[in-house]
Amino acid sequence: MKKFTCVADIGPLDKALADAAEIKRDRFAFTELGKNKTLLMIFFNSSLRTRLSTQKAAMNLGMNVMVLDVNQGAWKLETERGVIMDGDKAEHLLEAIPVMGSYCDIIGVRSFAGLKDKQEDYEERVIEQFIKYSGRPVFSMEAATRHPLQSFADLITIEEYKTKERPKVVMTWAPHPRALPQAVPNSFAEWMNATDYEFVITHPHGYELDPAFVGKARVEYDQRKALEGADFVYAKNWSAYTDPNYGKVLSTDRDWTVDAEKMALTNNAYFMHCLPVRRNMIVTDDVIESDRSIVIPEAANREISAQTVIKRLLESL
């Protein structure tokens, strides 16, 4: 595997899940693989889980790790070619990328959608430039349109907790005060569509996702109806995708908050969220604290998804 930005890059999911299970059984079985190899993690945006779990995963493989927060200490980077650089940006990505590539063997990149220019976001201009110009295997730590390490961890978690072959998984939009990217829901949909689970998406009118990600999922606008009989409830906020509202918050209606009354409609479902989560906006205190909430094991599986991916990238060097 030379890059990891989407579900297709990982190949057959049964094999990926088997690899993940092997790592989970003994995460120190491959400490020689990463010896004298360096991972560079580049963050254009904040992170708690991705930062820690990915670094831990690389250390489990015996790697050295460097972390750069582009907005804290590095030169401000211009990302567009052709710009007259007379503003506040001192360096261009086209020099910065090959320079960073020269100091490491593998690169992880976090670069969220700007939510201003849909075309720029959906062309994945930042991570695609890293793939093109770094000369190194690159993996996404959440790019503009996808968060595949999260979705892989979500899949591992569902496989661990499911009690039937084909669980019903419901992804529900939930309110949030600020505009968030569509990367997490896009990516979760892409991975769920690669399984044979029953997959339903529910959101208010106006929050339709890119049809390329919705795929064969059933879209149900009545949240309560969607939740009936669910085995897993995956809550997430996202901003509007469709024009002319791209990147906008259209609703903060707390009638969409996941609470105990909504969970009572399900088949005693597990509650999932990628975190960070805003309590009593996305989900009530009692639901996230309940014994059906699996947000912590879900986050813990980020170490496993990252290690599975980095191991494959190391094997390609």
- Identify the burial level of 160 via C-beta atoms within 10 angstroms of its C-beta, where 0-12 means exposed, 13-18 middle and 19 or more buried: middle
- Shortest Cβ 124–ligand CP spacing (Å): 17
Distance CA 168, CA 220 (A): 14
For residue 285, what are its two tokens?
């205190």
Query: Of 3, 30, 34, 50, which one interacts with ligand CP (CB under 6 A)?
Result: 50
| Binding track over 184-223 against ligand AN0, x by CB under 6 A | x---------------------------------------
Residue 177 near which of ligand AN0, ligand CP, none (CB within 5-8 Å, type-dependent): none
Q: For ligand CP, which stretch binds (CB under 6 A), given 57-65, 218-226, 235-243, 269-277?
A: 269-277
Using the structure block, give the residue that is written with the tokens 């110009």.
133
Contact with ligand AN0 (CB under 6 A): which of 23, 39, 180, 295?
180
**How far, in Å, CA of 52 to CA of 50, rounded?**
6
Q: Are 145 and 113 in contact (CB under 8 A)?
A: yes
Stretch that binds ligand CP, among 3-11, 16-24, 41-49, 131-139 (CB under 6 A): 41-49
Instruction: Report d(CA 309, CA 60) in Å as an integer.
Output: 13
Please report, in angstroms and rounded to a whole number, the separation of the first and last CA atoms in the chain: 9
168 φ, ψ (degrees, to nearest 5): -90, 120
Nearer to ligand AN0, 4 or 30 (CB): 4
The pattern of x and - marking residues 117 through 156 that bind ligand AN0 according to CB under 6 A reads: -------------------------x----x---------
**Residue 187 burial (CB count, 10 A):** 27
Interface with ligand CP in residues 113-172 (CB under 6 A): 142, 150
Residue 275 contacts ligand CP per CB under 6 A: yes
